Amino acid sequence: MLAFWESGYETTSISDLTAAMGVTAPSIYGAFGDKKRLFLEALRLYAGDPRDLEKAMDLAPTARDAVAGMIENAARLFTSDATPRGCLLASAAATGSKGAADVRQAAAGERRAIRGVIVARIERDIKQGLLPKATQSEVLADLALAVTQGMSVLARDGADRETLLKVAHASMTGWPHPKG
């Protein structure tokens, strides 16, 4: 996964993968069939189970707190010394050839799943009266995703953790505050 995260889907070669994984090319082909299926599995592992995100968001007292935590965690992950900078989902979105359309679609599907979890958490706060009825849950979810993906680009461009955390905090000024 780290090789794809570092270099993206299209520019990561089988040689890069064998070196990173410590296996032979026939082992990769035997286990996954081809590079694309290996990447799609890496993408699935990276994105995780949307139910885990849902559980984490449910632990926060409000949707606003949940999304702020998600964006702050992204800032930390994108600048970690233990992983490549930025986001694997964002680098997959940048894959441009026609032959990689299904890779982009898979990444978009993962982002849609994340968006769905965020929208549901916001809708719950609206129903509970914590947010105004006029709150646009889909717009706020899109804002969270846009900020997260934008921070990925900033991280790959060299922005440090402090800068990304400032962006994360600034992005939350567009959110309504919970009632009460």
What averages of pLDDT result for each successive group of 10 residues across the chain (180 residues)?
84 90 91 90 88 93 96 96 89 72 87 96 97 96 96 96 98 83
Residue 74 pLDDT: 96
User: Any idea which architecture 47-174 has in CATH?
Assistant: Orthogonal Bundle (1.10)
Give domain limits for the chain: 47-174
Residue 115 CB-half CA count within 13 A: 17
What's residue 89's pLDDT? 82
Neighbours of 149 (CB within 10 A): 16
Spatial separation of the C-alpha atoms in residues 71 and 118, rounded to whole Å: 12
pTM: 0.88
How confident is the model at residue 95, as a pLDDT? 63
Determine contact, residues 145/115, Cβ cutoff 8 Å: yes
